[in-house]
A and B are shown apart, each in its own frame.
Chain A
Amino acid sequence: MFDPVTAAILRTAPALPELDPETLPETLTARYAQLVARRLRRAEGEEATEEDDAWPLARIADAYELVTSIHDDTDVRRAAAFVAGTAQQILAQESLTTDEAGQLPILDRDRVAPALAASLLFLAAEQLADANEATQRIRISSGQQDYVATLLAESTRDLAAGRLASILERADRRPEHFIARGGLEARGTAALFETLLVGVELFAAEVLGRAAPDKAAGRFDSAHVAFARVLELSNDTYQSSDPAVGALLTSYPGPRHLAALLIAAYAATAQAATTKIEPPPGVDVEFWRSWLRHRAATAPFMWRNHREAVEKGFHLNGTSAVMVLPTGAGKTTVSCLKIASVLGSGKTVIFIAPTHALVEQLTTDLQQVFPEELLGSIVSSDFDRLFATGTNLCLAPFFSTSDLVVD
């Protein structure tokens, strides 16, 4: 069920009693097969219960989510998060996970709904496509929780889906202060969630390379600081001289757990922000930064393989490169960095594709990636315009084996 790369990541998860991480890919595959078999039996009207096993899927999901929440090692958290997210994703296919139907709060003092947690777990594992997919299972029913928790859940969902501009738009229209229903503890819960919301807004602004929204600006030095503050404030000890009470642990487990997941997600993805790619030598810095900010609106994070290409200088001017990637692995995304680098140094790009149909599709795509207002010229598939004023990115069909770029 898992490709070799994915299986390798799963195997780096920490060992748990009677659960060897070497066997995790096989174990998860077996659980998935059992789940599908149960679903088929139920569809045929037969009774189907889960096999008795020391490590059923829900326990794998819960245990590794818990490890992600409490472990001190970033690499361990990343691997644990991936196992937890994967187990939850498999489980979500079974109708038994009905608590996601919007009948329960998505967030409250004591819980983070599994679907919301799963999307953050995938972010923490730097599995951006999985994080996006996991957001589709998030059901936020307003009225089940305080308004601030609803907004936080919505912005967290947008974060995992890579819709960071939506987070900043929500920040602009949300209230500055929230009124919590209930007494002091309800106000405390709301304050913790409000801080996490500010953290998510700072996170989005940082990744997009934009100024922090007014309501979040100046509150904390960074998103991480906001999340860490919640982690710290969620637990407290009330020391009583009455031995029957002793040291009373007072706690807000839901905000604490969400803060821990956000810290893990931030650690794994903040450095992957598209806007953080340094301008290549010889490239107009202002053009480069403007283009990255534009690009980040639709592609806020660089995938790991894209970052590897950047680290190897693939995008630098004067560096010839051949890239071979499977469909959907981001050839065009990485190519765009190369194109931006060339355009930013005042040169012209010829992009050659093998068919007329692909030329037309790529022309449309690249016009969005390089809009006229940013480029000062038009992306065109009219090859005759290549030498005309106003075009310095031109697409053409494949016409010779000596062509420069083949997509």
Chain B
Amino acid sequence: MTAAGSTTAKAGASTPKGKTAQSAPPALSIKAVEINPDCTGSRWTAGDLDHLARIIAIIAMGQATHAARIIAELLPSEPAIDHEALRAGAKQRLSITGTTKKQREVSQYHRDGLIFEAISWAAAQQATAGKALLRDPHISATTQGLDELMIELDKAGTDVTRATIFEDKCSENPDQTFQQKIMSAFKAHHENKRAPELVATAATLIEKAGLDGTEAAKAAARVLDKEFRAYRGSLAVTTDDDSLERRQSIFKNHGALKDIEASQRIGAVLITSGEVRAWFDELAGRAIAFIDSLAAGGS
């Protein structure tokens, strides 16, 4: 049987050689930090870089497995995707490709963006103890897309208590990236522009939550209600930007999203040790090494 034939991957996919996942230290250290009265701050650092790399690898393997299942079931005439091809597919997403300098730059930009989305996903999972609904992190084909939508439900699992829109960006110029690109996306949502990505993603998450009938209709309305909305802008920055002053500078116009509380405006920073791109390269290398370490057939 090919890997694509199984509905869910074996649990062993997440267990590296010689390590027990359950005892692993937290991948991220997440701390609440001050920004300004308009905005709630969150500061992320790598708690355990290997664990973080492993999470990124597992996500890539999960995505490759799902894609392989779709191909196997819908295009049975295509060659079967074995474990090696699956690992190669997962590794491809974490690798820089291209022959020209320009191609490699673009590839690195996409790769780092994907990894940062995975880190942002992991931060959300960790902060909500896995209780929130999120789709798998993947790069939207368009820059105007939605990086992530997180839906939180009440204890009964029927009422949406919060829908958080994520914008996650790696940039050499965090001030400009937040104040222009990210805020422009947030404002479009806040001003009720049509949001096809939000509709499609919310449909996926509400279905996943098992809601239907009246509960589903109510959830649909809540996801699109500013009262239950939060906007989390995240940036990967170096230790040079790891200060209250710098955060105040980066997120200075978050308050332009009117009629919501500070708790609904979230500014997050991932602090990389050393230069941002080099840090991502190191992380990608460790994630690829983890995928390589997965025993053929055993994962």
Question: Which residues of A are in contact with B by a Cβ distance under 8 Å?
Answer: 14-17, 19, 50, 52, 54, 56-59, 61-67, 69-73, 76, 80, 88, 91, 96-97, 99, 104-105, 108-114, 117, 145, 183-185, 187-188, 191-192, 194-195, 229, 233-246, 248-254, 256-257, 260
Contacts and interface: CB of A to CB of B under 8 A. Distances in A.
Interface string B45-79: 00000010011001101111111111101110000
Given A15-B217, A59-B225, 14 more contacts: A59-B192, A62-B198, A67-B216, A67-B217, A70-B207, A110-B140, A111-B197, A183-B93, A184-B68, A185-B93, A244-B26, A245-B59, A251-B204, A257-B203
B8 A257 contact: no
A17 to B, nearest CB: 5
A243 B21 contact: yes
Interface in B191-232: 191-208, 211-214, 216-218, 220-225
Contacts of A252: 70
A57 to B, nearest CB: 8
Contacts of A257: 199-200, 203-204
Contacts of A80: 217
B55 A244 contact: yes
Contacts of A235: 204, 207-208
Nearest to B149: A253
Q: Which 4 pairs of residues, A with B, have the shortest CB-CB distance?
A: A238-B62, A188-B67, A184-B89, A253-B200
Q: By DSSP majority rule, is chain A's interface helix, strand, loop, or mixed?
A: mixed
A188 B66 contact: yes
A243 B54 CA distance: 12
Interface residues of B, number: 84
Of A50, A184, A245, chain B has the most CB atoms within 10 Å of the CB of: A184
A70 B221 contact: no
Contacts of B54: 242
B203 A256 contact: yes
Contacts of A245: 14, 55, 58-59, 62, 122, 125
Contact of B217 (A14, A185, A239, A260): A14
B138 interface: yes
B39 interface: no
A376 B69 CA distance: 54
Nearest to B59: A248
Interface in B147-197: 191-197
Contact of A253 (B55, B135, B194): B135
Interface string B106-119: 00000000000000
Interface of B: 7-9, 11-15, 21-22, 24, 26-27, 51, 54-55, 58-59, 61-71, 73-75, 81, 86, 89, 92-93, 122, 125-126, 130, 133-136, 138, 140-142, 144-146, 191-208, 211-214, 216-218, 220-225, 259
Contacts of A66: 199, 202-203, 206, 220, 223-224
Contacts of B73: 229, 233
Given A66-B199, A253-B135, A58 B193 contact: yes
Contact of A110 (B9, B22, B141, B217): B141
A165 B77 CA distance: 28
A269 B51 CA distance: 52
A62 B224 contact: yes
B193 to A, nearest CB: 6
Of A61, A97, A234, A242, chain B has the most CB atoms within 10 Å of the CB of: A242
Contacts of A248: 58-59, 62, 136
A41 to B, nearest CB: 17
A170 to B, nearest CB: 20
Nearest to A253: B200
Of B66, B70, B75, chain A has the most CB atoms within 10 Å of the CB of: B70
Given A241-B15, A242-B14, A114 B221 contact: no
Contact of A70 (B58, B70, B136, B203): B203
A238 B8 contact: yes
A73 to B, nearest CB: 7
A46 B145 CA distance: 31
A62 B195 contact: yes
